Structure 1
Amino acid sequence: MEKSHLESALPIANERNKASSRHVRQKLAWALIPLTLTYLTFSKHSPHMSAFHRPAINYTAQCIQPSALFPKDTPELSKAFDFISTPTFVNASIERLSGAVKIKTETFDDLGEIGVDQRWDVFYAFHEYLEKTFPLVHEKLKVEKVNTHGLLYTWQGSDATLKPTTLMAHQDTVPVPAETIPAWDYPPWSGFYDGKYIWGRGSSDCKNQLIATLETVSLLLSANFSPRRTILLAYGFDEETFGYHGAGNLSALIHSRYGDDGLAVIVDEGASFEEAWGTVFAKPGAAEKGSTNVEITIRSPGGHSSIPRDHTSIGILSELIYLIESTQYPTRLYDENPYFTQLQCGAAYSPEFDPKLKTLLDRRLHSGSDETSTCMAKHDPLALEAAKKGPEIKYLLQTSQAVDIISGGAKVNALPERAQAIVNHRINVGETAQVVFDHLTRVAAHVATKHNLTLHAFDGIEEPSSLILTHNEVLDPAPVTPSSPHPQTPFSILAGTNRAIYGSEIITTPGIMTGNTDTRFFWDLTKHIFRFAPGYDDSEGKEGMGNIHTVNERVSVVNHVNAVKWFMLFLRNLDEADL
């Protein structure tokens, strides 16, 4: 009886034990939750912890480099290419570029209408020079004058189904301020050749590219090359003053003929070659930052300055400028920014790539998303670390702001009733101009409230006792050019041409332009726009920038001749491609 009671009681005892065990497990589970969350958080934000649990990233696969790409040859084409390296061609090329530099083609912000303002007339002489210097090109190609001074050359291909290749450059240069002329080693319009460099305004921005493309076409014509794919040469004449008259009209004409996405590829002036982390990179500009100018106006009562208010319009404007410069835009590397790809290429091929950057890059890629896009992200560790290299990198990753113009006041002893400043912004890839407008509105609201001014932020209203924000032109960042090498793409052809000319040590990665080029008018015509100066002289180092827009602008002859070689192969490689 006791045994049977015991046996009948066993299941009850087991159920109690099970209940007790469940209770213990539940307590343990609840206790482990905070520990688990702590571990996950730590492992996510600690690259050292996460490294034990994540597979190594194959950066070479993230930055595939095509092999050197050579087009099919004929005896005539081979002879023409070899001719580029001869003293006969080099000396003649020096004369051609030097002659182009000698012709002043300055443009100014205050130019009037074409045909009225005589300063435009300098381009007539430049056109005459091109016709005299490249007679075969002007004989064989269709040449059109667009809006008087724009030049469009068309070399009609044999296959109308193939989209054209377009090479661009601009004829104009920035002015040479008279007060800077004594600082030049050689006169700025001399086109002087010192045995290595051709000196003068426009020698590297960008008459070198214009002359190189015409030399290339002339060589191809002399070799009886017959393109399948139409080749366009488009040369604007006011790129340095926003390009509306030149590239704006050229793009409209080209669009009327070929339509949206009607071109295979565009190559215009832009980035070139740069050594980083012990490796030489070719960095064709695949993106451009946006831009907008914001005008700030302070309206306050006037009066005699012997009885001033505590803060004049100039004082209030100065306070606002101080606040603007004290609150910079965040440093952020969005996934679409080409510099993100550059970092991956650096990790793949550069022996001196920064270990800390590598750790942060690993973490970013393992996260599987753009950390800067989450509402939780207060900062971007990868971008901040990259920006430590200096402003030339920082402003690839940040919207910049520069107070360029300030004015106010009419006379001593008279309180200024109006003060103005213009702030230039270059908008980060991944952002829009609205980021600028929102930021300035917030900062200006603080100052307006403090000084009892009415804020008119981009509403078009100006009245006394107010703080006014206005903008003229808004240009959001350019669409980013695809940089995938597979299947054969314009980018892979460009990269393959780089290796054909300069060897397999050259790594091609998409670059980014902090300024804007004439390609801003061509976005609808193709997705494949490269802002690229393909000439390279490995003896130059950082001198390869050519001192553009400043004293002693110059270009090395080796750089220029290599650009001709590059265009010679690039046009033929594209002609054979099925794009």
Structure 2
Amino acid sequence: MHEKGQLLPHPQTTVSNSRPRPPWTSLLQIAAVCFLLKIAVFDTFIVPRLKDDGLEILAKCPQVEPLFPKGNQALSEMDDFIASPKFLNETVSRMAGAIQIPSESYDDLGPVGEDRRWDTMFDFAAYLEKTFPLIHTTLTLEKVNTHGLLYTWQGSNKNLKPTVLMAHQDVVPVAESTIGQWTHPPYSGFFDGRFIWGRGSSDCKNNLIGIMEAVELLIDAGYQPARTLVLSFGFDEETSGTQGAGTLSKALISRYGKDGAALIVDEGAGTSTVWGTTFALPAVGEKGYMDAEIIIRMPGGHSSIPPAHNGIGVMSELISAIEANPYEPRLYSDNPFLHLLECGAAHGPEFPRKLKKLLPSHNSHTCSKKDKLALEAAKAGDAIKYLFTTSVAPDVISGGVKANALPERVRVIVDHRVNVGESPLDVQAKLIKLAQQVASKYNLTVHPFNDEPETPSSITLRTHSILEPAPVTPTSVENVTPYGVLSGTTRAVYGEKLLVSPGIMTGNTDTRYYWDLTKHIFRYGPGWDPESEGLEGIHTVNEKLSVSAHIKGVQWYSLFIRNTDQADFV
């Protein structure tokens, strides 16, 4: 009671004063009362609301604490060895040896066993067997469709679904005309003290060798997993993966059943600094894909007596109409980039105010209205815009056979990467509408994505390589989840300053064939060097890999295997 009395005002004796008070004193009293009421209202209603909004924003991008697996002395010594100069020298040698095998895959490759260009994969498999002897005496190796490598490290607990780690053995070819542009020869595996140079160094022999190194070291340390570990390495990812991952996935689904794996980690997005914060961005979704083939048949004849418009001119008009009607940016609720925006709003000190203002009221389902949030976010440039916009690109065109003969058949292929929340059927409907507009102008018949054969005076539409947008991986961290384990492992390797947010791929990986194996698919490159620009030279000259980033990747795979092994999800 005494302490409370010190906090309350002491009672005052009222003294009568016969002098009238000036009017302005009453006004001051009223103003003071209003001011106090305003403060009371602000403290009672506004401040809590602001605090709630801040907590609500943070709640949309929760961060998992760094996750370190339980270990023993041998595993601790292994962790120390990965960070040692001796391991650096050894991993440089292993990576260089892998790069020196030109395991190129080509769009026109024939079936395995018939086209001799596949034979380079025999050399790569032999190199892995020589370089990682413990894996080849401990794990079971199956060769699927000759060159698909399927390693299984059987766990002691058969009730736990397996972890699947993926990579691909093949690389994109090096054009002969570009070899002279390389700082170091493309298949040299040259190490300059910081980078290893060569085709495949960052797409994605680094992931494959990093996985193998982590497993080899775990075996050497006496580790025995409780959860089965599967390594699935395709050999034609750069040419759509049909003969590699397409057959490997069938083998795994046949063995473990639908949703039979706990999770998959394949190549994919890495780490980026944006809005003043650095985020690891494991891709939990991929855009869809559709190549549209358009064929225009029109009468030929001698070019000295040309019609007002021939097939090339009409095709040009149709292409111009396609390019003049691009898809608008739209952020559907399940697009992972929307979650990245929420993470930026929660943790990015440089996050744009306008985006932050638009986020709470965003509604992607109002199809008749423009998506203001997506339109604003798209101003950051095409690399950002196409994370939530269907892209359109005419890539291949042909027509005519002679300079003095009118073309009778003109063909174009238009590549589409379909936005999450949309479908290739939407793309088809739009192309049909545009084709019909051009066809009516020139009295042509439209064959709209059916099996009808080409006819004279017609526009035929066909599809190639059609793929729906990938199912989006769950990213809840409320309990122990695959996404939570991946996040916790990442922050264990790089520290709490690195944040983790869901990401998305504009391209497609071998995971397209594994949708039935698990709902938890992550496309993530865990190696990161903050002093490097990331994965440099992919699919072009001077591809190279930061050795520091590669070693971090090996650390990540080692921790991740143990963390998933000890996680209590089935």
* Cα distance per residue 1:451-471 (max 9 Å; x no partner): 111111112221000011111
1:84 is matched with which residue? 82
Aligned equivalent of 2:456: 464
From 17, 37, 53, give the equivalent of 1:56: 53
Question: Do structure 1's residue 446 and structure 2's residue 437 form an aligned pair?
Answer: yes
Give TM-score, length-normalised by structure 2. 0.90
Q: CA deviation at 1:55?
A: 6.2
Segment of structure 1 superposing worse, 418-427 or 451-460: 451-460
Q: Does 1:504 align with 2:484?
A: no
> Hey, what's the Cα distance between the residues in 2 that align with 1:397 and 1:162?
36
Aligned letter for 1:453? L
Which whole-Å CA distance do the structure 2 matches of 1:126 and 1:337 have between them?
38
The residue type paired with residue 567 of structure 1 is Y
Counterpart residue number, 2:407: 416
The one-letter amino acid paired with 1:479 is P
Q: CA deviation at 1:60?
A: 1.0
RMSD after superposition? 1.1
Aligned counterpart, 2:383:
392
**1 CA distance for matches of 2:64 and 2:499?**
10
Match of 1:22 in 2: none
Which residue of the partner structure matches residue 75 of structure 1? 73
Partner Cα separation in structure 2 for residue 249 and residue 153 of structure 1: 14
2:557 matches 1:567: yes
Amino acid at match of 1:138: H
Q: TM-score, normalised by structure 1?
A: 0.89
Aligned equivalent of 1:429, options 407, 420, 435: 420
Mapped pair 1:258 → 2:256: yes
Query: How far 1:373 moved relative to its partner?
Result: 1.4
**CA distance, structure 2, for counterparts of residue 519 and residue 91 of structure 1:** 32
Which deviates the most, 416-425 or 176-185? 176-185
Instruction: Provide the residue aligned with 2:513 in structure 1.
Output: 521
Quote the offset at 1:271 in angstroms. 0.2
Q: After the TM superposition, which residues 309-328 of structure 1 pair with which residues of structure 2 at under 5 Å, given as runs?
A: 309-328=307-326
| Secondary structure, counterpart of 1:460 in structure 2 | coil
What is the CA-CA distance between 1:375 and the residue it aligns to? 4.2
Letter in 2 for 1:146: V
2: distance between equivalents of 1:363 and 1:465?
50
2:538 to 532, 543, 548: 548
CA distance in 2, matches of 1:570, 1:382: 36
Distance in 2 between residues matched to 1:363 and 1:56, nearest whole Å: 13
What is the alpha-carbon distance in structure 2 between the residues aligned to residue 407 and residue 472 of structure 1? 17
Q: Residue 532 of structure 1: CA displacement?
A: 0.2
1:168 is paired with a residue whose SS is strand
* Secondary structure of the corresponding residue to residue 235 of structure 1: strand
Change (3 A) 1:324 1:412: same
Give the letter aligned to residue 67 of structure 2. Answer: L
- 1:153 to 2:151 alignment: yes
**Aligned amino acid, residue 208 of structure 2:** L
1:577 to 554, 567, 570: 567
Supply the AA of the counterpart residue of 2:352.
D
Q: Aligned equivalents of 2:160 and 2:559: distance in 1?
A: 18
Q: Matched residue of 1:470: which SS?
A: strand
Amino acid at match of 1:230: T
Deviations 1:210-236 (A, max 9, x none): 000000000000000010000000000
CA shift, 1:351, in A, is 0.6
Is the aligned partner of 1:455 residue 2:452? no
1:542-562 Cα deviation digits (max 9, x unpaired): x20222111111110001000
Partner Cα distance (1:524, 1:392) in 2: 30
- Which residue is 2:44 aligned to? none
Q: Distance in 2 between matches of 1:101 and 1:436?
A: 40
The C-alpha deviation readout for 1:125-168, integer Å capped at 9, x for no partner, is 11111111001111111011110000000000000000000100
Q: Deviations over 1:45-97 (max 9, x none)?
A: xxxxxxx9996252111111010000001000000011001111110000000
Q: Provide the C-alpha distance between the structure 1 equivalents of 2:184 and 2:321, rounded to a whole number of angstroms.
A: 43
Structure 1, unpaired ranges of 5+: 1-51, 365-370
Q: How far apart, in 2, do the equivalents of 1:333 and 1:54 lie?
A: 27
Task: Report deviation, 1:424.
Answer: 0.5
| Per-residue deviation, 1:473 | 2.5
The correspondence for 2:484, drawn from 489, 492, 516, is: 492
Secondary structure (helix, strand or coil) at the match of 2:489 reads helix
**Partner residue of 1:178?**
176
- Structure 1: which amino acid aligns with 2:442? H
- 1:531 equivalent to 2:528? Answer no
1:362 is paired with a residue whose SS is coil
Instruction: Give 1:431's aligned amino acid.
Output: E
Question: What are the Cα deviations for residues 374-430 of structure 1, in whole angstroms up to 9, with x where unaligned?
Answer: 2442x1000000010011110001000111100000011000000000000000000
Match of 1:107 in 2: 105
Indicate how the Cα distance of structure 1 residues 555 and 54 shifts in structure 2: closer, same or farther if over 3 A, else same: closer
Selected match of 1:124 from 122, 125, 140: 122
Percent identity, aligned pairs only? Answer: 55
Query: Tell me, what secondary structure is at the counterpart of 1:530?
Result: strand
For residues 54 and 158 of structure 1, the distance between their equivalents in structure 2, rounded to whole angstroms, comes to: 48
Q: Give structure 2 stretches of 5+ with no counterpart.
A: 1-48
Alignment length (residue pairs)? 519
Matches of 1:53 and 1:65 in 2, distance apart?
Answer: 21
Q: 2:215 aligns with which of 204, 214, 217?
A: 217
Deviations 1:296-320 (A, max 9, x none): 1010000000000111101110111
Task: Name which of 286, 303, 306 aligns with 2:304.
Answer: 306
Quote the Cα distance in structure 2 between the aligned partners of 1:292 and 1:143. 35
Residue type at the aligned position of 2:159:
T
Match for residue 285 of structure 1 among 277, 283, 286:
283
Partners of 1:55 and 1:217 lie apart in 2 by 46
Partner amino acid, structure 2, of 1:125:
D
Show the 5 A alignment for 1:134-145: 134-145=132-143
Q: Distance in 2 between matches of 1:105 and 1:164?
A: 29
Aligned position for 1:347: 345
Letter matched to residue 294 of structure 2:
I
Aligned residue identity for 1:288: E
Q: Shift in Å at residue 115 of structure 1? A: 1.0
